Amino acid sequence: MKFTLPKLDYAYDALEPYIDAKTMELHHGKHHQAYLDKFNAVLEKNPQLKYDRAEELLMNLNKLEVSEDDRKVLKNHGGGFVNHAFFWKLMGPEKEVDNDLAAEIKKTFGSVDDFKTKFNSAAVGHFGSGWVWLVRDENKELKIYSLPNQDSPLTLGHQPVFCNDLWEHAYYLKYQNRRAEYIENWWNVLKLL
């Protein structure tokens, strides 16, 4: 069981001016690759783990028969691998709005604008590194929350709908300490909404 770095569906500069090419190049080519390499190394050490999809490892993280050290690597680097692979697919230079999702968001949060305000505030308020998530919980209801580091909603039994990366490596070259500005601009490259 060995995973490879997924190719992007767009060029590194395709998300300009909201996300700059240099950030994309480092984020995909270096950060994502580094998560992948450590993930593959721990999988190699644990041939008893037989899953076709990396997501399944995160769903079953707490019951995997591995050492606690290896479980931590799977959580951090397996999480990093899966989260980034998911994140690249959410973004693009062209909108592909999901009208069903937009309708559900209106129903749950009042309006798309109210929803974005809540999502932004969870993102800005998150302390340290992590991700902000829109998920479906165990009752299929939409929920917004942030999680630290590379923790995945899959491990909580929730289905990710979309997410934004709050690690400084995702925005620091262009936005420096202005996380709120990055989060606001990021809606321009999210395809779904």
Q: Which residues bind Mn ion (CB under 5 A)?
A: 165, 167, 170
Closest chain position to Mn ion (CB): 165
Closest CB to Mn ion among residues 26, 101: 26
Total number of residues shown for the chain: 193
| Shortest distance in whole angstroms from residue 31 CB to Mn ion | 5
Closest CB to Mn ion among residues 110, 128: 128
| Shortest distance in whole angstroms from residue 67 CB to Mn ion | 26
Count the alpha carbons within 13 Å of 106 in the hemisphere toward its beta carbon: 7
Closest CB to Mn ion among residues 60, 86: 86
| Shortest distance in whole angstroms from residue 57 CB to Mn ion | 19
Decide: 126 and 167 in contact? Cβ < 8 Å.
no
Closest CB to Mn ion among residues 151, 165: 165
| Shortest distance in whole angstroms from residue 84 CB to Mn ion | 6
Calpha distance 71→116 (Å, rounded):
34
Give 113-117's long-range contacts (Cβ < 8 A, gap of 24+): 115/144, 116/187
Calpha distance 10→136 (Å, rounded):
27
